Amino acid sequence: MPIYVILSQLTDEGRKTLKKNPERVFEVNKELEQMGVKVVEQYAVLGPYDFVNIVEAPDNDTVFKASVEMGSRGTIQLLSLPAIPVEELIQRLKG
């Protein structure tokens, strides 16, 4: 299944929500799964982004729809990147 890296920035409202209910992170993961996006790895990070998520999804459209749904709530901004395992990249380059 295709892999994507999703970089997330919480909005002010998102930070308030997370502070009040830290378990909300797991609730969102379940919601994503219902949309066809499975969270494989998830990290809270310092810097310009608050979370780095490694997810699997059947295609770009599924990730796009989930990103629009999550972003429309006003609690988070997302940057979604399709990812190719290095081994697969090497094989593709070899032809």
Secondary structure string (H, E, C) spanning 39-70: EEEEEECCCCCCEEEEEECCCHHHHHHHHHHH
Which pTM value belongs to this model? 0.91
The 10s digit of each residue's pLDDT in 8-54 is 999 999 999 999 999 999 999 999 999 999 999 999 999 999 999 99
Residues of the domain holding 88: 3-94
Residue 64: give its domain's CATH number: 3.30.70.920
Number of domains in the chain: 1
Q: How far apart are the first and last CA of the chain?
A: 21
pLDDT-derived band at 95 (thresholds 50, 70, 90) equals: confident
